[in-house]
Structure 1
Amino acid sequence: MKFPYLNSSVHPVSHKLAQYTCDKKSNLAVSADVTTAKELLALAESVADHIVILKTHIDIITDFTPDLTEKLRALADNAGFLIFEDRKFADIGNTVMHQVRDGVYQISRWADIINAHLLPGKGIIDGLKAGCQGREIGLLLLAQMSSKNNLFSDSYTKETVRTAEINKDFVMGFIAQEKLSDDEDLITMTPGVNMAKKGDNLGQNYHTPQQVIQDNGSDIVIVGRGIYASDDPKSAALSYQQAAWSALEVRNA
């Protein structure tokens, strides 16, 4: 099975992700958009065998304690998946350094992957890198979004790609709707994936795993409501795992 970013020169988090991906035959990330610690842990446990990334929004957890992230970290290490905290940092370097390292959540102590908007300039990369010292953490830059009428221009997306390509010591790839760079070291993860292909009344657009992987060249599909809102998240995760992996095999054949 051919798979990108397995050479030794790429970001260590990308390399670990590739190993999990090949071992589990999965390129599935689950977006755990739930609001209690009990729900988050239950979801993580139910889908653990089928995912390579669990994407969290830790600041929507109404009963957060540090014990939650300790349990998530242990589960991720045992089950073989990475934790992606979808904080979407978007401030000056000094501020994001403290946001990722300090405060209630201390994200850099437990997350493997974080993401950021490049709107404040390259200083946001330097600030996050400083806040993440001591652990191997990969940064994804938001180059495109799946919501209707978003303000991501072509020029902004191109500058985001250019900046990622010259900061690969910390930047591991993109959040985007399609493959944007010829640099195979950079991973593309795509949210807004749902096999039902329907949106919502808050501006979300959905695409199928086949569209995202085969047609648009992405590497990882990010699925939220299609799994966590299912009556059986474990079975739903298996279905998405199989669909996304099959699409990857077709693309790489």
Structure 2
Amino acid sequence: MASSTTSKAHLSYSARIPYHTNAAAVKLLELMDRKKTNLCVSVDVTKGKDMLEVTHIDIIEDFTLELADELVQLSKELDFMIFEDRKFADIGNTVSLQYSSGVHKIASWSDITNAHPIPGDGIVTGLSAVGKPLERGLLLLAEMSSKGNLATGEYTRTTVEMARRHRSDGFVFGFIAMGRVHERYAPSEAAAAEQEDFLILTPGVGLDVKGDKMGQQYRTPHEVILESGCDVIIVGRGIYGKTSEQEVRDEAERYRAEGWKAYQARVQT
């Protein structure tokens, strides 16, 4: 974790709310503080009946907008947010249509989505035109957890710079990353750094395995939250890959407890 005196990592989630203008970011910080959890469950299933929280809606074979409505209603009843891990990666006009229209109409039901910065600033502009009026939020993919990925070095630095350029419009509020990338590439102005905060959501989290045969690499909640200063652990197969509903519940609670314990240790240092 960065040792910068301007780091907001040592602050509680609730204490970081004043540094965010994006409605989805504020809602997320309030939710994590209220429910004592920093767990995001990534459920990559292919049938709507198996879906609890959807991260890749375009792999659902029986998707309907009624299914999305049911998910939104469930999110209200059970007090969680919906993050569609869409990874947009096209020009502004195209992503605005992908986000607002077509079969999935993602912006109509998903609180948060994400995008690759590869197309340039237009991708943020295009998504913001749709999502900001709906009080949605955007994460930029600054780093990845898979072995040999190219989201490193200059790529990551320019992603951070892109986020800073669009921070004032209140739509981009964080990164998919392995650490506090905005502190690694800190702005030169001390005043700007003092006021800056981005949320870091981190995939590749596992308690029992270190990797898979397809290049995924796993770190523990302790490594991600306490050592790297990230804010949310994204856990997929470690939870939904269990064979029974009770095992899924037990593993979800296990990850929630470990993530929250690491967060408490971080803010107490």
- TM-score, normalised to structure 1, is 0.91
Aligned-residue offset at 1:122: 0.3
Q: Name 1:51's counterpart in structure 2.
A: none
Does the 8 Å CA contact 1:197/1:208 hold for their aligned counterparts? no
Name which of 223, 243, 249 aligns with 2:258: 243
Does the 8 Å CA contact 2:89/2:115 hold for their aligned counterparts? yes
Relative to structure 1, the CA distance from residue 134 to residue 10 in structure 2 (aligned partners, 3 Å threshold; closer, same or farther) is closer
Name which of 2, 12, 17 aligns with 1:2: 12
Following superposition, which runs of at least 4 residues in structure 1 exceed 6 angstroms of deviation? none
Higher deviation after alignment, 161-170 or 114-123: 161-170
Q: Name 1:223's counterpart in structure 2.
A: 235
> What is the identity, as a one-letter code, of the residue corresponding to 1:160?
T
3-state DSSP class of the match of 1:240? helix
- Could you report, residue by residue, the CA deviation over 1:90-143 in whole angstroms, capped at 9, with x for unpaired residues? 000000010000000000100000100000000000011122253111000000
- Could you report, residue by residue, the CA deviation over 1:47-85 in whole angstroms, capped at 9, with x for unpaired residues? xxxxxxx45200000111111100000111221111011
For residues 163 and 8 of structure 1, the distance between their equivalents in structure 2, rounded to whole angstroms, comes to 18
Do structure 1's residue 29 and structure 2's residue 28 form an aligned pair? no
Q: Name 1:155's counterpart in structure 2.
A: 154
RMSD of aligned Cα (Å): 1.4
> What is the identity, as a one-letter code, of the residue corresponding to 2:12?
K
Q: Which runs of 5+ in 2 are unaligned?
A: 1-10, 184-192
3-state DSSP class of the match of 1:230? coil
For residues 41 and 17 of structure 2, the distance between their equivalents in structure 1, rounded to whole angstroms, comes to 22
3-state DSSP class of the match of 1:82? coil
3-state DSSP class of the match of 2:166? coil
- TM-score, normalised to structure 2, is 0.86
Alignment of 1:1-253 (within 5 A): 2-3=12-13, 4-7=15-18, 9-40=20-51, 44=52, 54-168=53-167, 169-182=170-183, 184-231=196-243, 232-253=247-268
For residues 26 and 84 of structure 2, the distance between their equivalents in structure 1, rounded to whole angstroms, comes to 18
For residues 205 and 138 of structure 2, the distance between their equivalents in structure 1, rounded to whole angstroms, comes to 21
Aligned-residue offset at 1:204: 0.6
Does the 8 Å CA contact 1:10/1:185 hold for their aligned counterparts? no
Q: When the two structures are aligned, how many residues end up with a matched partner?
A: 241
Aligned-residue offset at 1:197: 3.2
Relative to structure 1, the CA distance from residue 177 to residue 18 in structure 2 (aligned partners, 3 Å threshold; closer, same or farther) is same
Does the 8 Å CA contact 2:68/2:109 hold for their aligned counterparts? yes
- Could you report, residue by residue, the CA deviation over 1:203-231 in whole angstroms, capped at 9, with x for unpaired residues? 11111100000111100000000100123
Which is greater in Rg? 2
For residues 174 and 19 of structure 2, the distance between their equivalents in structure 1, rounded to whole angstroms, comes to 16
Does the 8 Å CA contact 2:17/2:26 hold for their aligned counterparts? yes
